[in-house]
Structure 1
Amino acid sequence: MRKFVTVINCMDGRVQKPVIGYLSAKFSADFVDMITEPGPNKILAENKDHTIIQSIKRRIKISVDNHKSKHIAIVGHYDCAGNPVDEKIHIQQIREAIKVIQSWDLDVNVIGLWINQDWQVEEVRPSHSGKLFSKN
């Protein structure tokens, strides 16, 4: 059986390859189901646009139910046109977005990723850890 993971990523083409490479390696995945929106970490963190959030949730459920994905990543990135805020705000939004996704009780592992100015992937630590990123 082929292994899938799921990512809620920005539509920005610059972040697709680094995220796919990172998740494929981290979870030994054969495929990465890509759900894209401009600035998805903001959309989920603010939890206001219920139409888009329901669309994201529906697509995640397809990945989880049909492809048996057990891991979901939410991504924020440097120089995001859909969410032009500084890195600290992105990290806060990623952490909030993780909580929103976890509240859906999908029985999956949820992680946050930050794509820095060098287009490298950094895993966002939970807010209680005191550090922004884990070592890759």
Structure 2
Amino acid sequence: MIEGMLDIFGTRLTLAFAAIALLYLLWSTAPIWWSMQRVFRRDDIKQRGTFVFTVVALSYGATILLGVLLVALLGLPSLVLQPAHLAWSWVTVPGTWLLLCLPSAKFWLVALSHLTLTWWITHTLAAHWQMLRARMLPASRGLT
């Protein structure tokens, strides 16, 4: 399979595809490996699996929520400002040049916010994990 890709795309393009795939893998799994390295670096975090699961769920949920909000808010000008004749829109509607930048802006905002949210949620949850765990313990004792 790799030989076929090398024949079709060449060495440089195949390595570029592999590097992009590796970066995407690291970006998309950032909540998992970031929270795991935090757990293994600190000894005071108990219930490590629950911590990792909580960070992963909050990070992916917050990223999806922020992504939906960004797409909705940044897509709003295209509904309001975009005229029926797109060919003349740069002349008729001020600020239409912004509409041309929105697709890449959405991508970079979501990509950077995913990493920022992952870092912030892990940092905040690790700082308050002992208190949250203490509040969870009385409820879990009643179930057993």
Q: Which has the higher helix share?
A: 2
TM-score normalised over the length of structure 1? 0.20
Structure possessing the higher radius of gyration over alpha carbons: 2
Query: 1 or 2 for the larger relative contact order (CA 8 Å, sep ≥6)?
Result: 2
TM-score normalised over the length of structure 2? 0.19
Q: Which has the higher strand share?
A: 1
